Amino acid sequence: MVSTRRGWLAWALLPVLLISCTSAPEDDAAPELAPPEPAPTQEPSTPASTVQGGTVVVAVADEPTTLHPWMAAADSSVGMLVRPVLAPLWRVRPDGTSEPWLLAEQPTVREATATEPFAVTYRIRDDAVWSDGEAIDGRDVLFTLETCLRDAPHDDCAAVDLSRSTADGKQATVAFERPVGEWTRILQSLPVLPEHRLRGRAPQTAWTRRIDVSSGPFRFASWTPGARLVLERNDRWWGEPPALDRIEFHFAGHDTVAGVVDGAVDVVQMPASPAAVEQAQAEARLRSVVEPGSQWAALDFNLTSPLLGRRALRRALASAINRTTVVNELIRPVDPTTAVLDALPGGPRATEGQTLLYPGYDAARAARELDAAGCAVGDGGVRICGDQPLEIDLVTTSDDWQQAVIADYVRSQLTAVGVVVRRARPPSDPPDRGTSAAPSEPGAAGDDGGRWDLRVTAVGAATGGGRRWHCDDPANTQGFCEPRYDDLVERASTTTDPEQRAALDAQAALLLSSDLPTYPLYEMPTMLVHSRGVRGPALSRLPWGLTWNVDEWARTAD
């Protein structure tokens, strides 16, 4: 249960801006990326008139087992379902800008002194109330942090000193045991919890099937297992009244373009695929948009592997992988704005214009580096390292179409420089056809306890952010351990000066690009489709996902 709770917090701590970095250029032989084009979209030239009232139906891919945010896994749908009901202190827009939400104003910071701890003071809006009429106040802020300390003790909330924190009416002053560099992350996207409703209730059982009070524009109405969850307008909400009367989330497998075409649902967000984009664009009754999502495709190296524990060999293999070809041929037909990027989501951020040390594609250099690493060409063109052929097990973490095709590209490119690639597919994926290479054990795919050397994975908040490369962090499943990196991450976490923290992050990003535990590929595109009879839905890579602006949704005359 601890890993589940930590997953939710990692989700909430996802940085709202990813900074692109410049790496070593791909080889001239690699096809160049064309200038970005507008993402596929179907927006109306003349907006339709808004209709007051009505219901919008949203497709949900997975039905949760609880509505309590602290008990929910990071990759579940709970964030999308809870956002309309439980308000955070800030609302963070998709472009990364934030605005006070429950807050009356931006918090004030008191730097640590010889006698006083580092502290942040939050002031709640005077008109903010729960749907039962109780005021939302400083006690709720402290109770939220208390819950965080109890249920996610290994995350940044651990720095909070509740014994020295105080609540006074609409105000809460939160003291910290030590300075916290990005203190805004702790409560930036987490919902504030009602102390008067949840005090004394076990999180494992509270809000399992209903949320009995609301601070958002909608309130919980009903949940029919296997079918739908219904929210109704919260008449006691302190903000601008929403146009909609109801939102329904349907779990009955309508999370496809066809579900919107058939009228079973009004809105759906899904992974972008060529077939889905083509289908949506062919329907005049639909609006669609494709944008970079909240996860990145990347290649993880297993540093516990006797061969791949050597940095020289990891960099040689990376030099043989043509990321530009992968993006051009696989992703740009779906999202023309996609490009090869080197920033790692949730990881240390490079400074603007910083040159990182990720190797670009150069097959000739890869061959030279393999020779230098002691892996000479043997019989049949296979590389021999010492007295063993250079064989690696390549796995994917899911049967997503992107991961499957990436793995095929990688295998082909590594084979070209003499590497024997044994492909392990997820159990639901069919075995390779027309190849003599036997797949790895079925259970190995996506299983860190199985046999793997190179892993195609989706890197994002749920995979631990920047701490997934920390020596002692549970999210570190690659065996990477570099004390210098840990030191930089720890120092950045306690540095309140933005410039100093940026400098530490830049050093950590440079170290990761040099040691290469992970080779980033591109941001994985996501797709939003909705009927022309709905206005307002917009993609967001933030924890709340699709419903970040649900108070602005409305039916239209279309």
Distance in angstroms (rounded) separating the CA atoms of residues 334 and 67: 34
Q: Which domain holds residue 416?
A: 17-37+294-525
Distance in angstroms (rounded) separating the CA atoms of residues 5 and 324: 37
The mean pLDDT of the chain is 82
Reported in sequence order, the residue ranges of 274-402 that DSSP labels E, i.e. its strands, are 286-301, 375-377, 383-385, 388-389, 391-396
User: 58-67, 192-201, 235-244, 492-501 — which is least confidently predicted?
Assistant: 492-501
| SS3 category, 105 | coil
In a domain, 419, yes or no: yes
Given a cut of 70, whether residue 464 has pLDDT beyond it is no
DSSP conformation class of 328: I
- pLDDT of 11: 36
Render pLDDT for 378-420 as a digit per residue (tens, 0 to 9): 988 999 998 889 999 999 988 777 888 899 999 999 999 999 9
The DSSP string of 418-480 is T-EEEEE--TTSPPPSS--PPP--GGGTT-TTS--SEEEEEESGGGTGGGGGSTT-TT--S--
**pTM (two decimals):** 0.79
In a domain, 21, yes or no: yes
Here the tokens at position 90 are 């800030």
The DSSP string of 137-178 is -HHHHHHHHHHHHHH-TTSGGGGB-GGG-EEETTEEEEEBSS
- The enclosing domain of 488 has a CATH number of 3.10.105.10
In a domain, 314, yes or no: yes
More confident of the two residues 233 and 342: 233
* Structural domain count, the chain: 1
The edge-to-edge listing of strands for the beta sheet with 375-377 is 375-377, 383-385, 388-389
Contacts by residues 207-213 (CB-CB < 8 Å, ≥ 24 positions apart): 207/66, 207/67, 207/68, 208/65, 208/66, 208/67, 208/68, 209/67, 210/67, 211/67, 211/82, 211/85, 211/86, 213/130, 213/131, 213/132, 213/134
In a domain, 441, yes or no: yes
In a domain, 304, yes or no: yes
User: 159-168, 422-431, 481-490 — which is least confidently predicted?
Assistant: 422-431
In a domain, 355, yes or no: yes
Reported in sequence order, the residue ranges of 265-403 that DSSP labels E, i.e. its strands, are 267-271, 286-301, 375-377, 383-385, 388-389, 391-396
Query: Number of helices and strands (H, E) in the chain?
Result: 13, 22
| SS3 category, 183 | coil
In a domain, 194, yes or no: no
Render pLDDT for 14-54 as a digit per residue (tens, 0 to 9): 333 333 344 444 543 444 444 444 444 444 444 568 888 99
Neighbours of 292 (CB within 10 A): 22
In a domain, 27, yes or no: yes
- pLDDT of 543: 64
